[in-house]
Amino acid sequence: MTSLADWLAGQSVDPKLASTVASMAAASVEIAGVLRQAAIKGQVVLASGTNVQGEQQKALDVISNDIVLKHLRENAAVSILISEELEEAVHLSNDGKYIIATDPLDGSSNLDVNVTVGTIFSVLDAGKGMLQPGSAQLAAAYTAYGPATNLVLTFGTSVAVFTLDDVGVFQLTDDEVEVPPATSEFAINTARERFWDEATTTYVRENVVGESGRAGKRYNMRWVGSMVADVHRILMRGGIFLYPLDSETVTKGGRLRLLYEANPMAMLIETAGGRSTTGKQGILDVVPTAIHQRVPVILGSAEEVQRVEQLYSTSG
């Protein structure tokens, strides 16, 4: 068995970058423990506030954010924390070299039904400022809190999966994940169909036709409602995830957030051989103008994402 610590020691990356990732992994271990016991401790409740996006926070959103902050405060390598749950970026160590952008608890609407939720994070070079495109990410990862707790991590060359053991140590269980290029599963919130654009409508319509449709095969639809769970399934066995710009989200720029949802997931998927797009450009090419900026997200198996890109290029 190779532990996360041993694996990190063997990577040719700055040891301080490795220690930044290790701090986020330690936060994840603590969050996993909190989630396991949250119902017993009465923590599956709403918090008193709303976050910067005006969304009602759950107590566990706030607790997870506090856990991340505590772990990062202990690591002098971390300069700035950008979090979904904090309106402003938090300045940590003056000598820190790295920025963490994080969604401390993704999929929190699933907390009361014991469905997989996650922590997503991205690591950026603090010397280049907070508003960097996803292509500049130094590392990207998520932790999925499911039947097993999995940390899925990349420094941009390969994607590794670690599984949390029963003494709280992440052990390497897959060192080179590859997204199958073809798939017959798609993930989209079909309840939003009336808001969709032409490309999305056409793509989904082609799929539900089945054997007589464009791809000549039957598709299945899966939608967990936790991006971490949906992306994890796609990373492991193929598929496509779509949260496109639609007529309701258009004024906000999309639903999902660029710095701590779209970018890390796009880096993981692309490193594993998949593709990602907003419909108009690669997600990793989008230059942010604000830390909580939203973006349309389409990512997953290369062949399916290419089909959606083709539909966008012809639908104007």
How many whole angstroms from its chain centre is CA 173? 20
Hey, which residues does 240 pair with through a beta bridge? 186, 300
- Candidate residues 119, 226, 276, 277; the one interacting with ligand AHG per rule CB under 6 A: 226
Q: Is residue 185 part of the contact set for ligand AHG (CB under 6 A)?
A: no
Q: How far is the CB of 10 from ligand AHG (least distance, A)?
A: 32
Q: Give SS3 for 146.
A: coil
226 binds, among ligand AHG, Mn ion, none (CB under 5 to 8 A by kind): ligand AHG
User: At closest approach, how far in Å is the CB of 230 from ligand AHG?
Assistant: 6
CB of 103 to ligand AHG, least distance (A): 5
- Asked if residue 99 lies in contact with residue 125, where contact means CB atoms within 8 angstroms, the answer is yes
Residues within window 60-119 making contact with Mn ion, judged by CB under 5 A: 84, 103, 105-106
Closest CB 139 distance from ligand AHG, rounded Å: 20
Dump the DSSP string for 238-262.
--EEEE---TTTTTTT-SEEIIIII
Measured from the CB of residue 105, what is the shortest distance to Mn ion in angstroms? 5
Whichever of 55 and 87 has its CB closer to ligand AHG, that residue is: 55
Candidates 154, 158, 151, 142; CA nearest to 173 is: 151
Residues in region 5-64 near ligand AHG by CB under 6 A: 55
Instruction: Out of 21, 28, 38, 106, name the contact with ligand AHG by CB under 6 A.
Output: 106
SS3 state of residue 105? strand
163 vs 174: CA distance, rounded Å: 9
At 239, list the tokens. Answer: 């598929």
Residues that bind ligand AHG in the complex, under the rule CB under 6 A: 55, 84, 103, 106-109, 189, 225-227
